[in-house]
Amino acid sequence: MKTNRFAPRPDLKIYLDGELVPAPDAKISVFDHALLYGDGVFEGIRVYNGRIFECQAHLNRLFESAAAIRLEMPVTREELVAAMEKSVKANGVVNGYIRVVVTRGVGTLGIDPQRSACPSLIIIADRIQLFSPDLYEKGMAIITAATCRNHPNAMPPRIKSLNYLNNILAKLEAIQAGCEEAVMLNHEGYVAECTGDNIFIIKDGALRTPPPYAGLLLGITRAVIIKLARRRDIAVQEMMLTRHDLYMADECFLTGTGAEIMPVTRIDNRVIGSGVPGAITRQLLADFVEYRSQ
């Protein structure tokens, strides 16, 4: 068998259904519906200075995602926080990342979720792979993908589910174009979000971002940026945006747990604004750095 150079560090301790186990032993069944059908939910959370960032907001979103697919959480909110803290401590994570995964559990080969009785809880606390620092200074080049975002009446993007193929198809387009992110339009052609990030533009001094009904994941970082912008009396407009609005923006940036605030300076090879990260983007990035260290 081929050795996998992306295999996790063997000394990593993974929380699996109540126990901390070494990464090579952290395994779930081939009959888990998460594997068979992508039936499950997850969260990606930052740890800054040993503290779980925006913990309540992440818990709310996770429990809501689970409720949306009628998945009974195997732990309470308090138990989950305790388990996350245990994983963070066991792996010596001070500044890093937590991945919480809840699977539907082992079941029969059919899709019926009622025929799988026991959800599994997995927690991975590790270092985080960051974008290179010069991208934050120069800004990222992105594309708009031909793959549109899942229709909200088919697979609501607000559910952070284990089925990310829609995003992966768009990510493949980005990679093909030599980029790291892609904007996904919704089924009506309006901007929704990127494959793993939300998107903002600045136009005439106002901050604009697609509203929830555009069909997007309500990002935790998105909410923080909206709060920080309001604190600075920057007008925040949740409104439908077209690709034209992106091209004509004065500034553009992405938000996400992994990326934090990533300036965008090119979309589909068109230069955005002055071609360098804009003043408001840099201000909000600085505010975010201060906020996360509080």
Of residues 65, 87, 91, 198, which one binds ligand PMP by CB under 6 A? 198
Residue 194: closest CA among 219, 176, 213: 219
Q: Is 197 in the site for ligand PMP (CB under 6 A)?
A: yes
> 254 or 272: whose CB is closer to ligand PMP?
254
Cα dihedral sign, 286-288-292-294: positive
Stretch that binds ligand PMP, among 9-17, 72-80, 255-263, 270-278 (CB under 6 A): 255-263
Which H/E stretch holds residue 209? strand 206-209
Q: Is 193 in the site for ligand PMP (CB under 6 A)?
A: yes
Of residues 105, 219, 273, 277, which one binds ligand PMP by CB under 6 A? 219
- The set of residues, in sequence order, having a beta carbon less than 8 Å from that of 230 and lying 6+ positions away, is 236
Q: Report DSSP state, residue 161.
A: B
Of residues 150, 167, 209, 265, which one binds ligand PMP by CB under 6 A? 167
Catalytic member of 2, 27, 138, 160: 160
In sequence order, the β-bridge partners of residue 183 are: 144, 194
Of residues 13, 33, 208, 222, which one binds ligand PMP by CB under 6 A? 222
Stretch that binds ligand PMP, among 5-13, 130-138, 139-147, 194-202 (CB under 6 A): 194-202
Q: Is 255 in the site for ligand PMP (CB under 6 A)?
A: yes
Q: How wide is the angle at C-alpha 196 spanned by C-alphas 56 and 144, nearest 5°?
A: 145
Is 227 annotated as catalytic? no
Binding-site residue total for ligand PMP (CB under 6 A)?
A: 14
Q: Looking up tokens 């980005």, which residue turns up?
A: 174
User: What Cα–Cα distance (Å) separates residue 222 from each residue in 47, 116, 118, 247, 255?
Assistant: 17, 35, 33, 21, 6
Contact call for residues 272 and 265 (beta carbons, < 8 A): yes
> 15 or 53: whose CB is closer to ligand PMP?
53
- Token pair for 208: 């604009």
Residue 247: closest CA among 226, 229, 265: 265
Tell me how far, at minimum, the Cβ of 105 lies from ligand PMP, in Å. Answer: 23
Q: What is the three-class DSSP state of 156?
A: coil
Per-residue binder mask for ligand PMP (CB under 6 A), 118-157, x = binder: ----------------------------------------
Stretch that binds ligand PMP, among 7-15, 135-143, 217-225, 262-270 (CB under 6 A): 217-225
Contact call for residues 214 and 48 (beta carbons, < 8 A): no
* Residues tagged active-site: 160
What does the binding site for ligand PMP look like in residue numbers (CB under 6 A)? 44, 167, 193, 196-198, 217, 219-222, 255-257
